[in-house]
Structure 1
Amino acid sequence: MVHQTISTSNTPAPSASSNNNTMPRLLVDFFSARGARQAALAAIVGTLAACATRMPEAPPSTPAAVPTVPGLPEAPPYAVPGDTGPLPPPITQGKSRWTAVRWAELPGFGQDPLHEAWNAWTKSCERPGPVQAPLCKEVRRLSIGSGDEQRAWMVARLQPYKVEPLLGSSEGLLTSYYEPLLDGTRNPTSASAVPLYRPPATLGQRKPWYTRQEMETLPEAKAQLAGRAIAWLSDPVDALVLQIQGSGRLRITEADGSQRLVRLAYAGTNDQPYKSVGRWLLDQGLIRDATWPGIKAWIVQNPQRVNELLWSNPRTVFFREEVLSELDMAFGPRGAQGVALTPGRSIAVDPASIPYGTPVWLASPGPWAPLQKLVFAQDTGSAITGAVRADYFAGWGPEAGDLAGRLKQPLKLWVLWPK
């Protein structure tokens, strides 16, 4: 799922990754018998204990002070006995520099309910990168472990590194995105006349394809889109939101009056540059608040200028329809890693700085969502560029949309890399 944000940046989008058409698999319990599960956990915990006994004794020391993150509750550091040896050297990863730190330096590490993140980790293990793949057998086994067992395993097997840009401040920006839930119809009506399209047959033959304005006004563009509509919405701004987010859930009314819930997944773009409508409004001096609530308030007051607003962004996203099973409804769309996103535990990153599938510790203050938690790099987006930059997947529906429309706050990141 390659999405844009309403960020005022007009940074060109990276090339869209192809989505995996495989439906998300059921989370597998690898140990069907209780005895086998207990034995597996005992083996892991025993291994961790053995590792601990091999550590040389060190004199008592004061744990490293947890970096203060304004706006977040202060938490005691997570003390790791014997965590006093030399740290590994820094790693240069594309646009970023990773500097090794102690576990005690991760704000709130001892308080995060890790079991809530483990489903996202097992999802990443459906398509792991070469560095993370060797951990996946143990990750799956620990899905039935306690939070203390999961935390001890992480300390034994991973090394935290603070993510910093090669130049400049280590504090970045956190925004959020979500999966809209909209109502639509299979056929156009007097109330639903805004189409959502499949990719046109000529998409690959003409690069870039027609702009948003040309698609609505040029006869030749309209002809190539004839018969390609998946569904129809009543509000063109809802269609824009769906295209910016890159995926959504649609409660669709069929021709016979029946209703069903489907997912519209990202299937490509017209290869035109993405332009932020919020940036356009700011540049015109029309608003001061470029969040979605601010944009929508301007639209209500200026309905005659809606097309002008929409056409300021020449990019259009095309979709494909997917059936939503009960399991699919519990997860988000597939991200650029090719696995289903988990609300509150998946983030979009710049893959040139953080590889897909990497576990990441995230700390961000702010009035909307003060966060200190384990998340996973599973997606990307056109505005998500740079070392310390992330887009937080909030889930689906109105509440997630409200958070995604408002969240814009400082960010610090630590990657958790295999030792």
Structure 2
Amino acid sequence: MAEPRYTTLAFDQLKGWRDDNHQAAFDVFKTTCGDMDGPAWATLHEIARADPAPRGFFEEFFRPVLIEDGDPTLFTGYYEPELTGSRERGEPYRYPIYTRPDDLNHARREIDQDGILANRGLELAWLTDPVDVFFLQVQGSGRIRLPDGSMMRVGFGGKNGRPYTSIGKLLVARGVFGPDQVSADAIRDWVHANGEAGRALLLENESYVFFREVSEIPAHQGPLGTMNRSITAGRSIAIDPAFVPLGAPVWIEKDGDLPMQRLMIAQDTGGAIKGAQRADIFFGTGPEAGLRAGRIKDGGRMVVLLPAQLVES
């Protein structure tokens, strides 16, 4: 990995900065700024609690910093799935999601095919489709509609530490899809249509995610992100914390069919989100959010807003 390069910019170099809803970003920033480490962030948290004018707050106390590591910018999208399941096993609920075991190192094949975690009291819920289990792990959280109509919300509870392999990239490499054709829906349809070969493809991603129940989060709030706070559709992103501090404001200039120039807050992470110019945009909950998120695979630019006292010291 190349050494990151840091370039300090001015706010008037951010495309569309003046036209954004800074209040919306400020409200999201306040939900996690108190959880950030370091005296500079603690000072900003105290200032934010006094509810200053949002745009002035960002312009006075932050500096835009472009962080580059040599890889091109890539924006993708994610969402909170809403699935059908049960707390008890029984037709058609046959595919488990697990809570975190004490022994974390088992690969996906050992868990899903060999059943190494079965009958140990680790089953949190049962779903109707193994592909739903897989994509729930990719998203990291979701809502499960139970047979009585109630909702069970699950969030990230840990992972096995094995490397993440992109199923989409495998299908492109094998010539099944072109780079512009692959999407979550395309992968789902291909796996369903190809029986054993489809299930075998999923096993090639050794990374496995475990869950915990977080049903205490009110329905109108988003799922919990890495900072253990609810994330917000259209304002929260997942980033690589090796480059971007969790909780930091991040200005994005996303190209593509749904261009976006907006101040986001880095409140989440993801196994596939690696690099200084890599971000996953949270689109919300349910099928419509999933459709929007699945279409995002765009370039552009992302600029981190860092405390002025850190940048200028």
- One fold, TM greater than 0.5? yes
Q: Which residue of 2 aligns with 1:23?
A: none
Q: Deviation per CA, 1:229-276, whole angstroms, max 9, x where unpaired?
A: 1111111111100011111111223xxxx3321211111123322222
Q: Is the CA contact (8 Å cut-off) linking 1:287 and 1:298 kept in structure 2?
A: no
Q: Deviation per CA, 1:116-156, whole angstroms, max 9, x where unpaired?
A: 222211112231231322011222332xx6xxx32123222
Moved more, 180-189 or 234-243: 180-189
Change (3 A) 1:391 1:239: same
SS of the aligned residue for 2:299 comes to strand
CA distance in 1, matches of 2:242, 2:204: 29
CA distance in 1, matches of 2:41, 2:80: 27
Q: Deviation per CA, 1:211-239, whole angstroms, max 9, x where unpaired?
A: 222224436x155x433211111111111
Q: Which residue of 2 aligns with 1:270?
A: 160
Q: Which residue of 2 aligns with 1:19?
A: none
Pairing 1:304-343 to 2, within 5 Å after superposition: 304-326=196-218, 329-343=219-233
Q: Deviation per CA, 1:186-223, whole angstroms, max 9, x where unpaired?
A: 112221211111123x415xxx22x222224436x155
What amino acid is aligned across from residue 182 of structure 1 in structure 2? Answer: L
Q: Is the CA contact (8 Å cut-off) linking 1:127 and 1:338 kept in structure 2?
A: no
1:238 aligned to 113, 132, 138, which one?
132
Q: Which residue of 2 aligns with 1:291?
A: 183
2:111 aligned to 211, 215, 218, which one?
215
The reply to whether residue 400 of structure 1 matches residue 308 of structure 2 is no
Q: Is the CA contact (8 Å cut-off) linking 1:292 and 1:405 kept in structure 2?
A: yes
Aligned length: 305
Cα RMSD after superposing both structures: 2.2
Q: Is the CA contact (8 Å cut-off) linking 1:179 and 1:396 kept in structure 2?
A: yes
The reply to whether residue 122 of structure 1 matches residue 122 of structure 2 is no
Q: Which residue of 2 aligns with 1:191?
A: 92
Instruction: Calculate percent identity across the aligned residue pairs.
Output: 37
1:418 aligned to 289, 292, 307, which one?
307
CA distance in 2, matches of 1:104, 1:186: 53
Q: Is the CA contact (8 Å cut-off) linking 1:129 and 1:356 kept in structure 2?
A: no
Q: Is the CA contact (8 Å cut-off) linking 1:95 and 1:353 kept in structure 2?
A: no
Unmatched runs of 5 consecutive residues or more in structure 2:
309-313
Q: Which residue of 2 aligns with 1:249?
A: 143
Q: Highest CA radius of gyration, 1 or 2? A: 1
Pairing 1:11-26 to 2, within 5 Å after superposition: none
Q: What is the deviation of 1:362?
A: 0.8
2:5 aligned to 75, 88, 97, which one?
97
Q: Is the CA contact (8 Å cut-off) linking 2:192 and 2:198 kept in structure 1?
A: no
Q: What is the deviation of 1:310?
A: 1.9
Change (3 A) 1:109 1:274: same
Could you state the TM-score of these two structures normalised by the residue count of structure 2? 0.89
What amino acid is aligned across from residue 137 of structure 1 in structure 2? Answer: E
SS of the aligned residue for 2:303 comes to strand
Q: Is the CA contact (8 Å cut-off) linking 1:184 and 1:231 kept in structure 2?
A: yes
What amino acid is aligned across from residue 228 of structure 1 in structure 2? Answer: L
SS of the aligned residue for 2:124 comes to strand
The reply to whether residue 161 of structure 1 matches residue 65 of structure 2 is yes
Unmatched runs of 5 consecutive residues or more in structure 1:
1-10, 12-93
Could you state the TM-score of these two structures normalised by the residue count of structure 1? 0.68
Q: Is the CA contact (8 Å cut-off) linking 1:344 and 1:392 kept in structure 2?
A: yes
CA distance in 1, matches of 2:7, 2:226: 26
Q: Which residue of 1 aligns with 2:43?
A: 134
1:229 aligned to 116, 123, 141, which one?
123
Q: What is the deviation of 1:409?
A: 0.4
SS of the aligned residue for 2:272 comes to coil
Pairing 1:356-367 to 2, within 5 Å after superposition: 356-367=246-257
Q: Which residue of 2 aligns with 1:375?
A: 264
Q: What is the deviation of 1:164?
A: 2.4
Q: Which residue of 1 aligns with 2:311?
A: none
Q: Which residue of 2 aligns with 1:110?
A: 18
Q: Which residue of 2 aligns with 1:203?
A: 103
